[in-house]
């Protein structure tokens, strides 16, 4: 019955949106314009690893296009805004042992504009699970995503088709609750993929932000997701994220960001249950207008799983990364990163990556 509940909630909010007059002084309609905001981002990557000498492995050494992203956005009318993001990136074919370029819709959704303190969203979008999952590749704190995101949520993250309701709570601090109903059929979401087309994956996210001082803020997020999987059993995701940001007197030359995410996944199946959990914590220090240095530590453990599965997780993974970044402007960046990954193999992986990040056109502000 959960899908009926989500449908009813969404219909109630939609009817409320169109029952109200547009907010005065709010967004202006560009529904008759043939020129939506257009942005293009290009990520070029060079990497060298002691495991990347074979050209047929998943991450071979050498130059590549990490991702090219094209975004269109515009107000449809005073009630709705439409956003579409298309990405070109390479994908590894395990059967053929080759990589191919793939182009597809990363996000395509409509977002409400006229309801006070509430935002509706329908379409394909990144699920409100954790903090990092909401980011596009060009906005990642590091060149690659944390292990907990790629191994527990999927290579492309938790991205799916559905509906979302986000509302600000009446608290003295910033507090937002988000409720989403998703199909569970998205790419890389095999841990859901229930047997019925009527299945709905429920996502709940609570975000709080406090100003501790004039220079320091603290953000706390709590996430949960649950849905039926192919074994007609449940898969449950849990997550907690924290972020401290320090920027003295609004300085553009100095800043410190410390962010941590903890995540677990219970993949209940007929034959065996998978219990996977881990964390990622990273520290970013801006020591001048254009320079950043960063460090990250990660841990992921597959506490119980079906080792006969087609692609079981390593029993444990530990990873450390350091990065130095030169950011001439908000439209370009050069970043050099070193990784050391211990995943139970005889020799730990050591990898160096150099990334060039370019953006042109409309450049929407990143979430705080």
Which sequence spans correspond to the domains of the chain? Answer: 2-23+36-361
User: Which residues face 111 on adjacent strands?
Assistant: 81, 121
The residues pairing with 110 across neighbouring beta strands, listed in sequence order, are 82, 122
At the topology level, CATH places domain 2-23+36-361 in Porin (2.40.160)
Q: For tokens 């905001």, what's the residue? A: 37
Q: Which two tokens stand for residue 200?
A: 């709905």
| 308, 263, 194, 185 alpha-carbon torsion, rounded to 10° | -110
Per-residue pLDDT of the chain (368 residues; tens, 9 = 90+): 455 445 544 444 544 544 555 544 444 444 445 679 999 999 999 999 999 888 778 888 999 999 999 999 999 999 999 999 999 987 766 666 667 788 999 999 999 999 999 999 999 999 999 999 999 999 999 999 999 999 999 988 999 999 999 999 999 999 999 999 999 998 889 899 888 888 899 999 999 999 999 999 999 999 999 999 988 889 999 999 999 999 998 888 999 999 999 999 999 887 777 899 999 999 999 999 999 999 999 999 988 776 666 677 888 999 999 999 999 998 999 999 999 999 989 899 999 999 999 999 987 766 76
Position 8 scores a pLDDT of 46
The model carries a pTM of: 0.87
Q: Is 311 exposed, middle or buried (0-12, 13-18, 19+ CB in 10 A)?
A: exposed
Q: Distance (Å, rounded) from C-alpha 350 to C-alpha 355?
A: 17
Q: Is 183 left (phi over 0), alpha (psi -120 to 50) or beta?
A: alpha
């Amino acid at each position: 019955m959960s899908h009926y509940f989500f449908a009813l909630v969404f219909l109630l909010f939609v009817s409320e949106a169109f029952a109200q007059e547009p907010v005065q002084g709010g967004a202006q309609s560009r529904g008759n314009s043939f020129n939506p905001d257009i942005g293009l981002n290009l990520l070029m990557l060079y990497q060298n690893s002691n495991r990347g000498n074979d050209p047929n492995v998943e991450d071979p050494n050498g130059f590549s296009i990490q991702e090219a992203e094209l975004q269109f956005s515009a107000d449809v009318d005073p009630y709705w805004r439409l956003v579409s993001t298309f990405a070109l990136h390479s994908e590894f074919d395990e059967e053929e042992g080759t990589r191919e370029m793939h182009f597809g819709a990363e996000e395509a959704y409509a977002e409400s504009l006229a309801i006070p303190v509430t935002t509706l969203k329908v379409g394909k979008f990144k699920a409100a699970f954790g903090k990092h999952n909401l980011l596009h590749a060009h906005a990642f704190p590091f060149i690659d995503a944390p292990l907990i995101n790629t191994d527990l949520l999927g290579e492309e993250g938790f991205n799916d088709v559905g509906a979302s309701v986000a509302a600000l709570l009446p608290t003295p601090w910033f507090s937002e609750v988000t409720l989403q109903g998703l199909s569970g059929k998205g790419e890389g979401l095999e841990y859901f993929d229930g047997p019925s087309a009527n299945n709905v994956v429920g996502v709940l996210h609570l975000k709080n932000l406090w100003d501790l001082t004039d220079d320091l803020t603290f953000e706390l997020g709590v996430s949960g997701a649950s849905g039926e999987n192919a074994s007609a059993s449940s898969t449950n995701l849990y997550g907690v994220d924290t972020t401290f940001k320090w920027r003295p007197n609004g300085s553009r030359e100095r800043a410190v960001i410390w962010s941590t995410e903890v995540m677990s996944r219970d993949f209940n199946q007929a034959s065996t249950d998978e219990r996977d959990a881990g964390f990622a914590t990273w520290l970013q220090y801006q020591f001048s207008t254009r320079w950043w240095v960063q460090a990250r530590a990660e841990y992921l453990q597959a506490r119980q799983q079906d080792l006969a599965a087609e692609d079981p997780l390593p029993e444990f993974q530990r990873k450390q990364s350091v990065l130095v970044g030169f950011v001439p402007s908000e439209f370009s960046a050069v970043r050099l990163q070193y990784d050391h990954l211990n995943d139970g193999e005889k020799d730990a992986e050591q990898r160096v990556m150099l990334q060039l990040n370019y953006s042109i056109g409309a450049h929407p502000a990143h979430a705080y």
